[in-house]
Amino acid sequence: MNLTTENILLIGSLLLFISIIVGKTSYKFGVPTLLLFLLIGMLAGSDGIGGIHFDNPKIAQLIGIVALNFILFSGGLDTDWTSVKPILREGIVLSTVGVLLTALSLGTFVFFVTDFTIYESMLLGSIVSSTDAAAVFSILRSKSLALKSNLRPTLELESGSNDPMAYVLTIAFLTLVIHQDQSLTSIIPMFLQQMILGGIAGLGFGKLSKLIINHINLDFEGLYPVLVIALMFTTFSATDFVGGNGFLAIYICAVYLGSQELIHKKTILKMYDGLAWLMQIVLFLTLGLLVYPSEVSPFIGIGLLISLFLIMVARPVSVFLSLMFFKMKLRRRFYISWVGLRGAVPIVFATYPLLAGVDKAHMIFNIVFFISVTSVLIQGTTLSIVAKWLNVALPAKSKTITNLDQFTLDLPKKTLKEFTILSEYHCVNKRVVDLDFPKCTFIVMIKRDGEYIRPGGSTQIKAQDVLMVLADDDKEFSILNDFLNKPKKLLQS
């Protein structure tokens, strides 16, 4: 069956519906949802029962890039800066030095066990060198796996920020494969340009986006998420246009926005959570359709050998070397090594050699596909087991909820109090988003002239407003009291 304009919506919606239904029950059997999405795509493809013919790496790459924009941006928005800040150095080292060491060690191994040239081997190593944000985010969050210390933010920061490094390495070694007369040192300027411009652009567009979101006056709340989508794609494409790393830019931009007060922030976060899931499903279905199982099967032996080396040797070695100068317990290092999930991102990166016409491109693509499947199957299904075995998992009763979780999930705090706003208070006639309101407390409702208003970022505080505020204890209310009490004592009702 060929995909046409007439049937693509019907087929796409059916595959999407099946994926959601299957994904709903998958974790009862311990199977990662993302792997099932991939298998559904394969079953629907030419070699499967669906018989859908899809053999267009260019379209698959475009879908992959768009999907990664949403997945990385959503992951950045959900990143709690207060939990990430203490482990920022470890995360950055893992996402840069760790990726480089993984690519080099795996590339060296591939060179000795295959007939690949050294640059082709390094290209394959670079493609699978990063952990997959979609796989890590979805598996950790869907399993509600609570980890000790700062393990979880470390893993999420690494997976969200290491794709740019893998992308740069992939493009660099692809260039060397195509232009073999160039030296290895010739890629260093490109690497520095990509990372430096990407970082600067990400922070710059983040600050610009905050100003635009908070100061543009849109008539409908539903337009704000659309505005953020436009800003996201502008950040990616503009950064890429000037030679920077667009993936790095959108992740930094999203992390910055996630830590700021934004108008209709809850609406934006919820929409991006749904879009991220949609993009993950679409991405894995598309890549499943692109893969022909009959072409993968001849490479199962070499693929399994490379995959096991990556899981058991290359990943642990890169993690231990990267973190050798940081104080961290041995079992934490082992668990970080185990959560080296490969997913859709390496398969997307593997389309670049296909489109470039590299001789061994199809072999690389099929090996990368097999590595991704085995990684999700072996590591993804055992995250909870290994966490308990290494004693890095928290008991169910010890699981804590972050401020961001409470903001996005509408979970109540313990105590509700009312505060009356007097005319001399500094917050009068100011918007909630401009007040830098204490993060430990939440305004759930505003009583004004006998009516109740649900506050948003653009809501202005008026004199005689009664703020209904949630907090955990009197200490947090005291912080709010001091914040509002400028200069006279706040009257509390």
User: Which residue, 349, 370, 398, sits at the end of a domain?
Assistant: 398
Q: Using CA atoms, how far apart are residues 423 and 240, in angstroms rounded to an integer?
A: 50
Host domain of residue 416: 412-484
Q: Using CA atoms, how far apart are residues 149 and 328, in angstroms rounded to an integer?
A: 10
Same-domain status, 383 and 470: no
pLDDT, tens digit, for every residue of 186-224? 778 888 898 899 999 999 999 999 999 998 888 788 898
Helical segments of 291-360, H only: 293-296, 300-309, 315-322, 330-338, 344-349, 351-356
Same-domain status, 192 and 77: yes
Same-domain status, 93 and 238: yes
User: Which residue, 339, 364, 398, sits at the end of a domain?
Assistant: 398
Same-domain status, 236 and 261: yes
pTM: 0.74
Instruction: Reduce the DSSP state of residue 486 to 3 states and report it.
Output: coil
Same-domain status, 391 and 421: no
Q: Using CA atoms, how far apart are residues 44 and 63, in angstroms rounded to an integer?
A: 18
- Count of structural domains within the chain: 2
Same-domain status, 306 and 375: yes
Which helix (DSSP H) or strand (DSSP E) does residue 115 occupy?
none
Instruction: Reduce the DSSP state of residue 2 to 3 states and report it.
Output: strand
> Which residue type occupies 448?
R
Q: Using CA atoms, how far apart are residues 16 and 12, in angstroms rounded to an integer?
A: 6
Question: In a 10 Å sphere around its CB, with 0-12 CB exposed, 13-18 middle and 19+ buried, how is residue 288 labelled?
Answer: buried
Instruction: Reduce the DSSP state of residue 220 to 3 states and report it.
Output: coil
- Residue 450: inside a domain: yes
Same-domain status, 366 and 230: yes
CATH of the domain at 66: 1.20.1530.20
CATH of the domain at 474: 3.30.70.1450
Same-domain status, 430 and 456: yes
Is-cis flag, bond preceding 298, omega within 30?
A: no
Same-domain status, 97 and 245: yes
Full pLDDT tens readout for the chain, 493 residues: 666 666 677 777 887 787 777 666 555 544 566 677 777 888 877 777 777 777 788 888 898 899 889 988 988 888 777 777 888 888 889 999 999 999 999 999 999 999 999 999 999 999 999 887 666 766 666 555 667 767 877 887 888 788 888 988 999 899 999 987 777 777 788 888 988 999 999 999 999 999 999 988 887 888 989 999 999 999 999 999 998 989 889 999 999 998 888 888 888 888 888 888 888 888 888 888 888 878 888 888 999 999 999 999 999 999 999 999 888 889 889 999 998 888 778 888 999 999 988 888 999 999 998 898 888 888 877 887 888 898 887 664 444 444 444 444 444 445 777 888 887 788 888 887 777 777 777 787 888 887 778 787 778 888 888 888 887 777 777 787 777 776 544 444 4
Question: In a 10 Å sphere around its CB, with 0-12 CB exposed, 13-18 middle and 19+ buried, how is residue 335 labelled?
Answer: buried
